[in-house]
């Protein structure tokens, strides 16, 4: 079953928090998303990964979000920096999107500061 959620990518580390569909936590007329925010989960995530412990701000690391767009029937991977094909494949695998239509889209909201 596919997942929606958030992720970070740094130095070959893919970090994510996800929620399996069809149990959405945020559903609008347009999309299905998880309740997770980068801001709210940053301290927990960085405490687990040594390379992140000295990074104070959640938005200084490349990050993104995966949502399901209802009208299109497509999962969208929002990201701030150009993702290498290897990272996209890992996201598709981790979020179980291989059997579903998906697309990747750059969004300036997710650009690291």
11-27: pLDDT as tens digits: 778 889 888 877 667 88
Q: How far apart are CA 1 and CA 9, in angstroms?
A: 23
Tens of pLDDT, residues 50-79? 888 899 999 999 999 999 999 999 999 999
What would the mean pLDDT of 45-50 be, rounded to a whole number? 87
Q: How far apart are CA 106 and CA 113, in angstroms?
A: 15
pLDDT of residue 7: 95
pLDDT the model gives residue 82: 82
Select from 53, 65, 55 the least CA-distant residue to 3: 65
Which residues, other chains included, contact 110 with Cβ-Cβ below 8 Å and sequence gap of 6+? Answer: 62, 63, 64, 65, 78, 79, 80, 81
pTM over 0.85: yes
CA triple 45-78-34, angle to 5 deg:
55
User: Average model confidence (pLDDT) for the chain?
Assistant: 91
pLDDT tier at 49, thresholds 50, 70, 90: confident
Residue 24: per-residue pLDDT: 61
Residue 97 has pLDDT above 90, yes or no: yes
């Amino acid at each position: 079953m596919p997942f929606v959620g958030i992720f970070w990518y740094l130095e070959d580390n893919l970090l994510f928090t996800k929620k399996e569909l069809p149990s959405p936590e945020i559903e609008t007329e347009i999309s299905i998303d998880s309740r997770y925010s980068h801001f709210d989960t940053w301290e927990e995530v960085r405490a687990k990964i040594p390379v992140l412990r000295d990074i104070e701000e959640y938005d200084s690391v490349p990050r993104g979000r995966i949502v399901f767009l209802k009208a299109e029937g497509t999962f969208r991977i929002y990201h701030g920096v150009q993702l290498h094909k290897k990272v996209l494949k890992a996201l598709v695998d981790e979020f179980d999107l291989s059997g579903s239509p998906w697309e990747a889209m750059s969004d300036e909201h997710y650009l690291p500061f």
